[in-house]
Amino acid sequence: MSAYKSDFLNVLASRGFIHQVSEPEALDALARTSTITAYIGFDCTAPSLHIGHLLPIMMLHWLQQTGHRPLPLMGGGTSRVGDPSGKDESRRLLTDADINANLKSIRAIFARFMRFGDGKAGAVMANNADWLNTLNYVDFLRDVGRHFSINRMLSFDSVKLRLERQQELSFLEFNYMILQAYDFVELYRRYGCMLQMGGSDQWGNIVNGIDLGRRLHNAQFFALTAPLITTASGAKMGKTASGAVWLNADQMSPYDYWQFWRNTEDADVARFLKLFTVLQLDEIERLAALKGAEINEAKKILATAATAMVHGQSAAEQAAATARTTFEEGGLGTSLPAVEVPRAELKAGIGVLAAFVKAGLAASNGEVRRAIANNAIMVNDVRVTSDKAIVGEAEVTADGVVKLSLGRKRHVLLKPV
């Protein structure tokens, strides 16, 4: 069904990664005849990447699998500015120390998805702080700024929407697109990078880079954007009670990560398998054909495969096993999140309210009270009906833990130490 001749575009298109491509024929031809270096920018405004970053990371993965060179760019410099795209409010400005700390913890994630190092397709990581931080303002204006038309910049969605909605857009943020365009050129100079990929909201920024490349180097750059991924019911992906779905294990356990995928809506299963796992397409076809309750099998495969991409095969299988014992056999899974409690404290008895707050299942005593009123609280699978109930040593099971449950899905173990 795909009209592309190159492996690279074929794979991306058939798995649903492509929203827009500039000059598709030329890019297709280039991908067939040479090794492309392509970059995607990631900002460092949070200490971990989350699910929203997964799509671009997968694009880099496939880029490498099809023989090309991925170039993840850390926005060490641009994070100091903040991209106004899709935002009504200015982002908080981060300190350089924050940015560097974030950058460091993000870096490890990439190694899971692509091979770094030598060889023609070995991935390279760059940081735009390396060139942006030392720019000379006047030189930059003369060399780069003169190629930008304010008239045109005002017509870009990222700017236009802010202005139309009467939201403040600072000069600092207004410059973001210029810096991103400059990044593209700089990566071309340093690494011969000719393709920039990103989310669909990046189209305007990328196109600016293409223009600048043509003006400064008479070079043909390319843009490729991925669709914005929403769930079948229209919600933005990756929002849960506790916030974002993080990729770092210390922000979100592999078990919880597995659960996130396990709870995918039926209608999203096939699409997510294509986007977020590396299963063969014919295998995905087979799974997608499952009907009714059988599709749960596909969801488990999705969960395990997607978790394995980020946390490794063994952690993924452990999460799957824990889910199986917990949900299908009514037992205790070993990788359920656990919270340690001093044995003496448990001996004295902890009120249910405090116990659930301590376990992180609720934010306040009141929240636990309401949950009890809603029949949602269980200790060792026994429903709690009074907020005066005590969790003590008697509740420690043969496994040496106390199982606290909020609803049927959220479980935390209390482990005496």
Q: Which of 122, 331, 360, 366 binds RNA (CB under 7 A)?
A: 366
If the CB atoms of residues 241 and 417 are measured against RNA, the closer one turns out to be 241
364 binds RNA (CB under 7 A): yes
Q: Contact 197/71 with Cβ under 8 angstroms? A: no
Measured CA distances, 121 to 6, 24, 118, 167, 310 (Å): 16, 22, 8, 43, 21
**Please, which residues bridge with residue 339 across strands?**
414
If the CB atoms of residues 342 and 407 are measured against RNA, the closer one turns out to be 407
Q: Which of 44, 406, 412, 413 binds RNA (CB under 7 A)?
A: 406
Q: Is 259 a catalytic residue?
A: no
CA 13, CA 85: separation in Å to the nearest integer?
25
Q: Which of 230, 240, 313, 314 binds RNA (CB under 7 A)?
A: 240
Measured from the CB of residue 269, what is the shortest distance to RNA in angstroms? 8
Q: Which residues contact 291 (CB under 8 A, 6 or more apart)?
A: none
Q: Is 87 a catalytic residue?
A: yes
Measured from the CB of residue 9, what is the shortest distance to RNA in angstroms? 32
Q: Is 53 a catalytic residue?
A: yes
If the CB atoms of residues 187 and 361 are measured against RNA, the closer one turns out to be 361
- Token couple for 196: 């920039």
Q: Is 240 a catalytic residue?
A: yes
Measured from the CB of residue 175, what is the shortest distance to RNA in angstroms? 17
If the CB atoms of residues 210 and 316 are measured against RNA, the closer one turns out to be 316
**Please, which residues bridge with residue 123 across strands?**
116
Q: Which of 111, 235, 348, 382 binds RNA (CB under 7 A)?
A: 235
If the CB atoms of residues 264 and 318 are measured against RNA, the closer one turns out to be 264
52-54-57-61 Cα dihedral, nearest 10 degrees:
-160
* Per-residue x/- track, 280-309, RNA (CB under 7 A): ------------xx-xx--x----------
* Per-residue x/- track, 241-280, RNA (CB under 7 A): x-----------------x--xxxxx--------------
Measured from the CB of residue 375, what is the shortest distance to RNA in angstroms? 5
Measured CA distances, 55 to 93, 199, 232, 265 (Å): 26, 8, 17, 18
Q: Which of 116, 156, 174, 327 binds RNA (CB under 7 A)?
A: 327
- Token couple for 12: 């991306």
User: Catalytic: which of 143, 201, 211, 387?
Assistant: 201
Measured from the CB of residue 356, what is the shortest distance to RNA in angstroms? 11
Query: What is the footprint of RNA within residues 372-391 (CB under 7 A)?
Result: 373-376, 387-388
Rounded to a whole number, what is the distance in angstroms from the first to the last CA of the chain? 59
Q: Contact 57/310 with Cβ under 8 angstroms? A: no
CA 416, CA 351: separation in Å to the nearest integer?
15
Q: Is 45 a catalytic residue?
A: yes
Among all residues, which ones are annotated catalytic? 45, 50, 53, 87, 91, 180, 201, 236, 239-240
| Positions that interact with RNA (CB under 7 A) | 166-168, 232-233, 235, 239-241, 259, 262-266, 292-293, 295-296, 299, 323-324, 326-328, 353, 363-367, 369-371, 373-376, 387-388, 406-410
